[in-house]
Amino acid sequence: MKKFVIIIILSFSFSYTQDKNPDNLSLMKSIVEIFNSNNYDQIYSMFNDRLKNEVKSDIVLKFFSDVKGFHGKIKDFEFMKFDKGTSGEIAIGTLNFIKFSKSNFPVERYKIFFEREVLQLDLVVDNDEKIDDISLDQYIDETVSQRAINKLKIHEEIINEKQQKLIFNKSKYLPNNTQISIGLIKNGQANYYGIKRQNDSIYTVNNSKNIFEIGSISKVLTANILSKFVLENKINVNDNVNNYFDLKLKDSAQISFKSLANHTSGIPRMPNNFSYSSEKNPLNPYKEYKVDDLETYLLDSLKINQDTEGKFLYSNLGFALIGYTLSKIDNQDYKSMFDSYIFSKYEMTNSTFKKEEINDLLVKGLNSQGDEVPNWDLQIFGPAGGVLSNAEDMAKFIIAQFDEKDKELKLLRAQTSKISSRLGMGLGWFIENPKSNKKRLYRHGGNTGGYSSMIIVDVKNKNGIIILSNVTSRNPYFENINKLASSLIKNIRN
C-alpha cells in the first residue's frame, strides 16, 4: 500500500519557479505527500510548540481528514507570493474552522489544486523550520473582477441605473457561468431581472422561471407548516416534539417546537454521525444520511448543550427534527406535506424537492471556479434546505406575507426570541430591527454546494427582494448575494 501511495505522489507535477520561491519549499512538498497518504499526525508533528499549545492534535487530524474527504487529494501546488499575515483560521468552506493567532514570521502563500477545488494555503515557518502557523482558505482570483464587462440593460420600469450598477458591482467577482435571478417587489407588484456571466461579459437574461436550490430558505416554509398545525390545534408551539413520536430521546431530553424553530434548543448544528466528507458522495454529502441515521443519533448520541440552551445557535438538525415530527403527526412524508400545505396554497407550481420534475428549467450549481457540481439530495434534511424553486414562485410566497388575514403567516412572523437589539427570531424568520415597525424586515438566506440565495420582506411597505443564484457558499464572494439583497431592498424603500 505504501509503495502505491508513493507512486501516486511522484506522478504529481509541482509547479514553481525557483527564483521566486521560499528556501524551504521542500517542507511544502512534504506536507502535500503526507496529506495525500493520510498521515495527518505527521503534519501535526511539524507544528512548533507554540502552535501545539493553541490547537490539540485530535482537532487537527479530524480537520485534515474532512478536507481530504471534501476536496480530495492535492494534485498540484503553486507558490504565489510572500505576505504579511495569515487569515488566522483553517476552514473548509463554511463547515468547520480552527482559529490560530497571528504569527510574527513571513507568510508563504500557495495556490493548492485539490481534486475538487482550488484553495489558498498560507504557511508560516519559524527559524527551526517548524510550522508556526497554517491557514487554508478560499482561493481568490483577483483578475476575475478586472476582466468583467458590464453589458447589463437598464429597464426603467424594473431596474434603474443605480440598481444596475449595484448588481454589476456585486456580481463582477463571480465566475463565468454564474446566473442570478432577481425578483423585485414594490408596493405589492413583482418584476424580475436576471443576469448571466459568460466569456467575462455580464449581461441581462430572462431566468425568472429557472429553478435553483434555495437552501435554508426552506426552513421558513417548514415553519409555515408548523404554524398551520398550531392554528389547527394539532400541536401547541411550546409542546415538546417527544410527545408526538414513540422514539425515546437520549437522556430523556425535552425539546420544544418553538426552541427548534428559533434555534434556541441547545442541540448542535449537525448530528455527530453525519460527515460532510462522505467518501461515497463528497459532493452530495446528505445523500447517504437517512431516517434510520437520524433516529440512531436521537437514541444514542443526542446531547443538549446547557451553555447554549435558550440562546441562539443555528441548527440544521433542528429543522430536520421539526420535519420528522410533523410528518409523524400528519402521517405523510414531508414532500407530500409541502405539496399540500405550501406549494398548492401559494400556487408555487414550479417548486419541488424532486429534480426529475424540473426538466430543462434547472440552473446547474457551480463550484468556486465556475465548474458544475451535482445537486444535493438532502433526504431527511429536506425540511432544513431541500426545496428547489424559482423567483416567480418565491415572489408569490413573499406577496402572501402582505395579506393581514393570513393567520399562519402572521404567527410565522411573530417574534419568539431575541438575538440582539437589532435582530430577533420568529418561527423560521430572522427579524431585522424588531423594535421598529417602520424599519422591520424579515429575511432568510440559503446556501448549498452550488447555490446561494436570499429573500427579504418589508411587510409594512409591501416590498421584497428575492435573489437566487448558482454561487456556491465556498466562493469567497458568496456574501455578495446577501449584500446585493440588502442594497436593493434599501434602494426600493428609498
Q: pLDDT tens-digit profile of 230-267? A: 999 999 999 999 999 999 999 999 999 999 999 999 99
pLDDT confidence of residue 18: 37
**3-state helix/strand/coil string of 283-317:** CCCCCCCCHHHHHHHHHHCCCCCCCCCCCCCCCHH
| 89 vs 23, residue with greater confidence | 23
Name the CATH architecture for the domain at 2-139. Answer: Roll (3.10)
Kindly state the average pLDDT of the residues 52-64.
90
Residue 459 pLDDT class (50, 70, 90 cuts): very high
pLDDT confidence of 293, banded at 50, 70, 90?
Answer: very high
Q: What is the mean pLDDT of residues 200-217?
A: 98
Residue 240 and residue 248 in contact, taking contact as beta carbons nearer than 8 Å: no
Query: Domain limits of the chain?
Result: 2-139, 212-493
How many residues are given for the chain?
494
Mean pLDDT of the chain: 90
Report the relative pairing of strands 201-205 and 149-151 from DSSP bridges: parallel
Cβ–Cβ under 8 Å, residues 285 and 275 = yes
Instruction: Of 211, 386, 216, give the one whose Cα is nearest residue 287.
Output: 386
pLDDT surpasses 60 at 1:
no
Per residue in 368-398, pLDDT tens? 999 999 999 999 999 999 999 999 999 999 9
Q: Could you please report the per-residue DSSP string of 436-455?
A: -TTT-EEEEEEE-SS-EEEE
Quick one: cell of 228? 398551520
Q: Higher-confidence residue: 70 or 296?
A: 296
Single out the residue of 392, 466, 490 nearest to residue 220, CA to CA. 466
pLDDT of 87 higher than 50: no
Ranked by mean pLDDT, which of 79-88, 112-121, 183-192 comes out on top?
Answer: 183-192
Give the pLDDT of residue 282: 81
Sorting pLDDT into bands at 50, 70 and 90, what band is 23? low
The predicted structure's pLDDT at residue 247: 92
Instruction: Note the pTM of the prediction, 2 decimals.
Output: 0.88
With CA atoms as reference, report the closest residue to 105 among 62, 50, 177, 163.
Answer: 50
What would you measure as the largest C-alpha separation in the chain, in angstroms? 74
Both ends of the chain: CA-CA distance in Å? 66
Residue 2 pLDDT > 90, yes or no? no
Query: H helices within 352-470, ranges in order?
Result: 382-385, 391-400, 407-413
212-493 CATH pick, 3.40.710.10, 3.10.350.10, 1.10.238.10, 3.40.50.720: 3.40.710.10
